[in-house]
Structure 1
Amino acid sequence: MGITMRRAHTIQVDGHADSYTNILRKYTRSALQMIHVTRISKTGIRQEQNKAVVLTPHQCVVKRTIEKAQAKTIITKIAQQMNCKMGGALWKVETNVQRTMFIGIDCFHDIVNRQKSIAGFVASTNAELTKWYSQCVIQATGEELVNELQTCLKAALDVWCENESSMPRSIIVYRDGVGDGQLQALLDQEAKQMSTYLKTISPNKYDFFIVSQSVKEGTVTPTHYNVIYDTIGLSPDRVQRLTYCLCHMYYNLPGTIRVPAPCHYAHKLAYLVGQSIHEKPNRSLSTLLFYL
């Protein structure tokens, strides 16, 4: 795969939770690029606990997983995950739109423990869709609409300008997790927050369905899209083709998924923070896909 690695520094610890987390804290430092954890079994220290104590991207695997007959395929997959968690790109697609930022927004609600809701915001930060910026917004329990989108959007545009020579020409937002009854509230609240960066609102709203993934068994439920805010003026056909292209850009699967990659990245981010960390991730991780 052309990935060059130095020999890893290997540390062995017992299965006790305190000794395990203390070792992770001790060896987490700015010069460290990746922590790879190999466990004997799934019992004991949970992977989510590992992620909660480190500020460095890490990969966790159960020992018997890499001892299977298809170990070469599994290890290749692990190497790909480690690569993109450290900022590398695995593939890209041609979208036929120039200098466009794509944003995905989704929320996680802990309905069991009634913890605060977590909104995940993920934005592409280069024209090739290979670099991403992420940020979490911690909200009241059960709250779906996001209140700090101006802050998130400004930070994402700052990172874009670091990677590119000028601002993006356009911004396309994919919002997941809202029902048809919330579309007007979404338009009034979230779209209004980002109106500083957008000039006018298009009255031509429309919706469409796409089946982006292929399955070998059963049937696929189409994904329903509503275009509710448009200042670019792309044709419906172009929006549908663009959406389909983005379904190929999820770096945890060499194929297509049912929603555009930024939406699913936002879902993974919000779920990890809401389920395991319960606080905003360290800012040093904001340009890495650490939540895959």
Structure 2
Amino acid sequence: MNEVAEQKGRGRQLQSKVNTTSPSSSSSGSERQDNSSDSGTVLKRRRIEEDDCPIERIKQKAKDSNKHEEKKYKMTIRYTNKTIESNNNMANQIWNLILRQIMKGLELQLVGRNLYDPKNKVSLPQYGLELWPGYITSIRQHQENVLLCCEMSHKVMRTETILDIIRRYQKENSEHWQDNFKREIIGSIVLTNYNNKTYRVDDVDFKSKPCDTFKFKDREISYQDYYGMRYKLHIRDIKQPMLVSNPKARRVLSQEKIKFSDHHYFQTSSDCVDWTNAMRSKEMYQNINLTRWAIVYPKKFYDVTINFLNSLQNVAKGMNYSVGKPKHFDIYDDRPKSYIEKLMRINQDDPRLVAVIVPNNAADRYSAIKRVTCVDAAVPTQVIVARTLTKPKGLMTIATKVMIQINCKLGGAPWMIDFPISGVMAIGFDISHDPTNRSKSYGAFVATMDLKKNVKFFSSVSEHKKGEASGTIANHFIGALKAFKLEHKALPERIIFYRDGVDEGQNYSVIEDEVEHLKKMLKDIYDKFGNGKKPKFTFIVVTKKLNTRIFLNKNSKYENPEPGTVVDSVITLPNRFEFFLVSQSVRQGTVAPTNYNIIHHDVQDNDLTPDRLQILTYKYTHLYYNWSGTTRVPAVVQYAHKLADLAAKSLQRIPNLGLNDKLYYL
């Protein structure tokens, strides 16, 4: 698609008048003439009865603007025996369609989904902008009546064309001007005046020119000739590159191979993105053997505890995982105070992990256990409810899940997938509110340390205050960059920030505060420690709470779409660089997609195009180690959510910094 073109002539505007027939409120079938008329067109009303034949007498001749020949248009009205009540959704749709046609009759121009008035625009030439006034309208059934909502809206239009931007970058005389141009333009929305449509720029093809040809019907035609024939446009600069906008509405990403140890794989499919059964007979991808550990339990659960430890040993043999004998610590009752006293004694021995058997899910006891081990000390704990260990049939399944969690909390990884690029830090951030004090919140930050090279994470928590997110996130960011540089002797090549916990109305504050603050911070850090590298930064707002549902039309039957389904047009907003991703498979009900709104995206050397970013996002949904399957959001977002919940609902304080490199919150 060529964005920049010059209009040589104006196409003719088709004008036609068609007599309209509508049902009358009169009970008789007789035809009557209305007194109203429009330029000689008589409006008639008539009630259509069930026995009436289809009405086909309404005809109109007009000239086709392209072929300059007359055509006949015929309207056929049939009796459908269907009454639409005013509170029906279909009635709302009809009213809104009629209103939209009326608004177009006012010579308003459709931009995106709303209508604007270019004739009354306010020009700001000193800034290269125009301000178009417009309206956002909606007709809905309210409690008593059908009401029209009309809201004033303004659209800021950039008068600088894509060709102007290209020439500006060419004047820089930089060998990287094409990369700089791509970084600015990819992901932006452009408006083409010749057809009044908006397009998202997915790529820039510098190898293609307007003089290149493509197959049109049964012949080859150049883009230049096509625009002249179709839109009466003359393209002056035939050396300009072509913008690429992918018109696809849906595509399905390739399914991943799950990697275990010793080159063992499990191939997921569109029917199965769950590898729970495969885990039982495979050695985990990265094992950290369990040694120097302890187990605490009430005396009444001694037999249950012994059976569980035996099952844990059996599972460990099948997964080639080494489990040492734990130190046993029994307590006389299950009061929180009893657990606290015993755990404080155990912490003095600096164990690598403590397993704790509890009778039920009492929140006060769980909070007490986690505070002693995760705040006062830096000891990962595995809390197990005794009730789940009393069922012999499910004991091996429970032991398998506990084994996986223990390995993760020690720094191991049960599985992995192949990553196409190295040097990437993926970040998840979420906020959770303290249920006992709604004015208090905690923000959790989780980052990967280049999963192509090794499986390591960085986690941190801070108390979150409204309006101060940018500062707290920056502090987490600095800690993550230090950990990355310590691990790899260099800063990340690419940073992808998945931001959860953002309401719809907060998007602009996120752009202004967080993104700009983080960009400036990254520039300062890379200028000092990046060895000449520039940070490549992507900021994405993740939204899970959606009313949107996506269905696959398969043999005239609607089904849930396959995992890995991406939709990045049609239902997306024209002023956003966004996509929907279905990453899960559900057995009951409808699967819910997740929306990814890309607020900022640096592109250099074509390393991470929008399509590749979608693939990478889908890959990250396979790495949440609390579930052997895909999740709705990337793993780092799910980890951040889990950590924020732990801090806000159980700890109510900041965890020990000694746990920052472990997934202790699983």
Same fold (TM over 0.5): yes
Query: How far does the alpha carbon of each residue in 1:166-195 deviate from its partner, in whole angstroms, 9 at most, with x for none?
Result: 221110000012123222211111112221
1:48: Cα distance to partner? 2.7
Shift in alpha-carbon separation, 1:143–1:116, aligned structure 2, 3 A: farther
For 1:261, which of 619, 629, 635 is the aligned residue?
A: 635
Secondary structure class of the residue paired with 1:197: helix
Q: 1:81 and 1:111 mapped to 2: Cα distance?
A: 26
Query: How far does the alpha carbon of each residue in 1:119-143 deviate from its partner, in whole angstroms, 9 at most, with x for none?
Result: 1111112333621111112023x56
Shift in alpha-carbon separation, 1:201–1:82, aligned structure 2, 3 A: closer
Aligned partner of 1:131 in structure 2 is 456
Query: How far does the alpha carbon of each residue in 1:97-155 deviate from its partner, in whole angstroms, 9 at most, with x for none?
Result: 22100000110123553251101111112333621111112023x56834222221111
From the two aligned structures, give the one with the greater strand fraction.
2
Aligned partner of 1:16 in structure 2 is 335
Q: Aligned pair 1:218/2:541, yes or no?
A: no
Q: Aligned pair 1:84/2:403, yes or no?
A: no
Q: 1:149 and 1:71 mapped to 2: Cα distance?
A: 41
Secondary structure class of the residue paired with 1:194: helix
Secondary structure class of the residue paired with 1:252: coil
Shift in alpha-carbon separation, 1:200–1:84, aligned structure 2, 3 A: closer
Question: Could you tell me whether the CA contact under 8 Å between 2:583 and 2:621 is conserved in 1?
Answer: yes
Shift in alpha-carbon separation, 1:222–1:30, aligned structure 2, 3 A: farther
Aligned partner of 1:249 in structure 2 is 623
Q: Aligned pair 1:282/2:605, yes or no?
A: no
Aligned partner of 2:601 in structure 1 is 230
Query: How far does the alpha carbon of each residue in 1:177-235 deviate from its partner, in whole angstroms, 9 at most, with x for none?
Result: 21232222111111122212255889x95000001011000001110110111123521
Q: 1:261 and 1:102 mapped to 2: Cα distance?
A: 9
Q: Aligned pair 1:51/2:347, yes or no?
A: no
Question: Could you tell me whether the CA contact under 8 Å between 2:494 and 2:536 is conserved in 1?
Answer: no
Secondary structure class of the residue paired with 1:41: coil
Q: 1:2 and 1:29 mapped to 2: Cα distance?
A: 31
Aligned-partner residue type, residue 11 of structure 1: F
Q: TM-score, normalized by length of structure 2?
A: 0.42
Aligned-partner residue type, residue 322 of structure 2: T
Aligned-partner residue type, residue 422 of structure 2: Q
1:105-124 mapped onto 2 (5 Å cutoff): 105-110=429-434, 113-124=437-448
1:35: Cα distance to partner? 0.5
The structure whose Rg is larger is 2
Q: 1:218 and 1:164 mapped to 2: Cα distance?
A: 45
Question: Could you tell me whether the CA contact under 8 Å between 1:15 and 1:44 is conserved in 2?
Answer: no
1:127-206 mapped onto 2 (5 Å cutoff): 127-128=451-452, 130-140=455-465, 145-195=469-519, 196-198=521-523, 206=577
Shift in alpha-carbon separation, 1:238–1:83, aligned structure 2, 3 A: same
Shift in alpha-carbon separation, 1:168–1:130, aligned structure 2, 3 A: same
Question: Could you tell me whether the CA contact under 8 Å between 1:272 and 1:291 is conserved in 2?
Answer: yes
Q: Which stretch shifts more, 71-80 or 131-140?
A: 131-140
Q: 1:178 and 1:236 mapped to 2: Cα distance?
A: 22
Aligned partner of 1:62 in structure 2 is 385
**Relative contact order, higher structure (CA 8 A, sep 6+):** 1
Secondary structure class of the residue paired with 2:584: coil
Aligned partner of 1:73 in structure 2 is 397
Aligned-partner residue type, residue 285 of structure 1: L
Question: Could you tell me whether the CA contact under 8 Å between 1:107 and 1:177 is conserved in 2?
Answer: yes
Question: Could you tell me whether the CA contact under 8 Å between 1:51 and 1:277 is conserved in 2?
Answer: yes
1:93: Cα distance to partner? 1.6
From the two aligned structures, give the one with the greater helix fraction.
1
Query: How far does the alpha carbon of each residue in 1:42-79 deviate from its partner, in whole angstroms, 9 at most, with x for none?
Result: 45863232111113100011123123212111101101
Q: 2:430 and 2:364 mapped to 1: Cα distance?
A: 28
Runs of 4+ displaced beyond 4 Å: 198-202
Q: 1:260 and 1:57 mapped to 2: Cα distance?
A: 24
Identical residues among aligned pairs (%): 36
Q: 1:32 and 1:257 mapped to 2: Cα distance?
A: 32
Q: Which stretch shifts more, 107-116 or 66-75?
A: 107-116
Question: Could you tell me whether the CA contact under 8 Å between 1:170 and 1:232 is conserved in 2?
Answer: no
Question: Could you tell me whether the CA contact under 8 Å between 2:363 and 2:650 is conserved in 1?
Answer: no
Shift in alpha-carbon separation, 1:279–1:160, aligned structure 2, 3 A: same
1:33-52 mapped onto 2 (5 Å cutoff): 33-43=352-362, 46-52=365-371
Q: 2:340 and 2:481 mapped to 1: Cα distance?
A: 36
Secondary structure class of the residue paired with 2:327: coil
Secondary structure class of the residue paired with 1:102: strand
Question: Could you tell me whether the CA contact under 8 Å between 1:17 and 1:44 is conserved in 2?
Answer: no
Q: 1:277 and 1:239 mapped to 2: Cα distance?
A: 35
1:30: Cα distance to partner? 6.5
Secondary structure class of the residue paired with 1:137: strand
Q: 1:200 and 1:246 mapped to 2: Cα distance?
A: 19
Secondary structure class of the residue paired with 2:649: helix
Aligned length: 290
Q: TM-score, normalized by length of structure 1?
A: 0.92
Secondary structure class of the residue paired with 2:330: coil
